A = this chain, B = another copy of it.
Amino acid sequence: MTQNQRFVLASRPDGMPTRDNFELKTEEVGTPKEGEVLIETLYLSVDPYMRGRMNDSKSYAKPYEIGGTFGGGAVGRVTESRHASYKEGDTVQGGWGWQTHPVVNGDQVVKVDPDLAPIQTSIGVLGMPGLTAYFGLLDIGQPKEGETVVVSGAGGAVGMVVGQIAKIKGARVIGISGSEEKNRYLSEELGFDAVINYKTDSLPEALEKACPDGVDVYFDNVGGEISDAVFQLLNSNARVPICGQISQYNVKNPEPGPRFLPLLLTRTALVKGFLVNQYQDRYSEAIPEMAGWLKDGKLKYKENVIEGFDKAPEAFFGLFSGENLGKQLVKV
């Protein structure tokens, strides 16, 4: 008999998260009540922001509760429906987190069109990471033709989309990542104009060489010393969307850094932290446009799929080693 397996937060990490922070629970599958659906999860999304929610600190999102299901995006198939909008066999996407057979409120999931693109893109390039790239870059970054756009974490699910949309808008794109494999993919497959490996290149020099005209847009997924170096090259009226700070998530005692405010003043630059769900009202304009770019081959995507529900924590740990290329998924 099928059971629902789910990961709960067992304890909060102190620095880098470990397997001890997770507990795998197995329980009876629930029965949907009126308005609910039973889902068989097919893919789990694994994202850097989840690290922030493991902490019990003032932040944009509520912290995960100890003993609660580890939250996040997922895509699955409806196996039983008591909601008028769904029938058995429908593909849906929602935030039910890391569990295999959840019962969820039908109003909190959205239908996925399996003919538009492979279903897991609904939690990837056409889902949260893609939308994050789209709105952060276009709404805050506003790249113009011929401008220089630098993206850190360029080999991740968000960074790859940022670089490609910047290219679509006619910008010159420089990607920073931590691996040769990622950088090769960015240059050869995605058409980035230059790539920098922050682990092996000397950062200030490599950036100056790659950005002879300075930096107009810096899309930051990473923070720390990488951002310190890019900030020095900001042009007048530069725009800096802050999307992630993965280099700082597991740091227990953050190091101080150079003070940026005098530089932001003299360059009259803008820095803005943002969250994708601030743009919820505009998803319906973004998804068809990105789906069109996918169809036309202007937008490509890459997935790093780990098989097996029980491997989800390991997939998550992999985000922090700088090795995973593209969107991290778990195939259940």
* Interface positions of A (Cβ within 8 A of B): 52, 58-60, 220, 223-224, 227, 236, 242-245, 248, 254-262, 264-275, 278
Among A220, A223, A273, max chain B CB count under 10 A is at A273
B273 touches A272 (CB 8 A): no
With A257-B256, A259-B223 as known contacts, state yes or no: A272 contacts B275, CB within 8 Å: no
Q: How far is the CA of A278 from the CA of B265 in the complex (A)?
A: 13
A60 touches B267 (CB 8 A): yes
28 contacts between A and B (CB under 8 A): A52-B266, A60-B265, A60-B266, A60-B268, A220-B261, A223-B261, A223-B262, A224-B259, A242-B264, A243-B265, A244-B265, A245-B261, A245-B262, A245-B265, A248-B259, A248-B262, A254-B262, A255-B256, A257-B258, A257-B259, A261-B271, A264-B271, A264-B272, A264-B273, A268-B275, A268-B278, A270-B270, A270-B273
With A245-B261, A271-B271 as known contacts, state yes or no: A266 contacts B58, CB within 8 Å: yes
Q: How far is the CA of A266 from the CA of B265 in the complex (A)?
A: 22
Measured between beta carbons, the chain B residues less than 8 angstroms from A269 are: 272-273
Q: How far is the CA of A268 from the CA of B241 in the complex (A)?
A: 10
B264 touches A254 (CB 8 A): no
A236 touches B268 (CB 8 A): no
A266 touches B59 (CB 8 A): yes
With A256-B256, A256-B259 as known contacts, state yes or no: A273 contacts B278, CB within 8 Å: no
Query: How far does the Cβ of A17 sit from chain B's closest Cβ, in whole Å?
Result: 17
Measured between beta carbons, the chain B residues less than 8 angstroms from A52 are: 266
Measured between beta carbons, the chain B residues less than 8 angstroms from A271 are: 261, 264, 270-272
A242 touches B261 (CB 8 A): yes
Measured between beta carbons, the chain B residues less than 8 angstroms from A58 are: 266
The residue in chain B whose Cβ has the minimal distance to the Cβ of A58 is B266
List 5 A-B pairs, minimum CB-CB distance, nearest first: A256-B256, A265-B273, A264-B273, A59-B266, A257-B259
With A271-B271, A271-B272 as known contacts, state yes or no: A242 contacts B265, CB within 8 Å: yes
Q: How far is the CA of A257 from the CA of B245 in the complex (A)?
A: 17
Query: How far does the Cβ of A255 sit from chain B's closest Cβ, in whole Å?
Result: 8
Q: How far is the CA of A254 from the CA of B262 in the complex (A)?
A: 10
Measured between beta carbons, the chain B residues less than 8 angstroms from A264 are: 242, 271-273
Q: How far is the CA of A127 from the CA of B258 in the complex (A)?
A: 34
Q: How far is the CA of A245 from the CA of B262 in the complex (A)?
A: 6
Q: How far is the CA of A317 from the CA of B236 in the complex (A)?
A: 29
Measured between beta carbons, the chain B residues less than 8 angstroms from A223 are: 259, 261-262
With A271-B270, A272-B269, A274-B268 as known contacts, state yes or no: A256 contacts B254, CB within 8 Å: no
Query: How far does the Cβ of A316 sit from chain B's closest Cβ, in whole Å?
Result: 19
Q: How far is the CA of A266 from the CA of B269 in the complex (A)?
A: 20
Q: How far is the CA of A244 from the CA of B266 in the complex (A)?
A: 9
Q: How far is the CA of A273 from the CA of B272 in the complex (A)?
A: 12
Q: How far is the CA of A223 from the CA of B78 in the complex (A)?
A: 55
The residue in chain B whose Cβ has the minimal distance to the Cβ of A256 is B256
Measured between beta carbons, the chain B residues less than 8 angstroms from A261 are: 220, 223, 227, 242, 245, 248, 271, 273
Measured between beta carbons, the chain B residues less than 8 angstroms from A268 are: 60, 272-275, 278
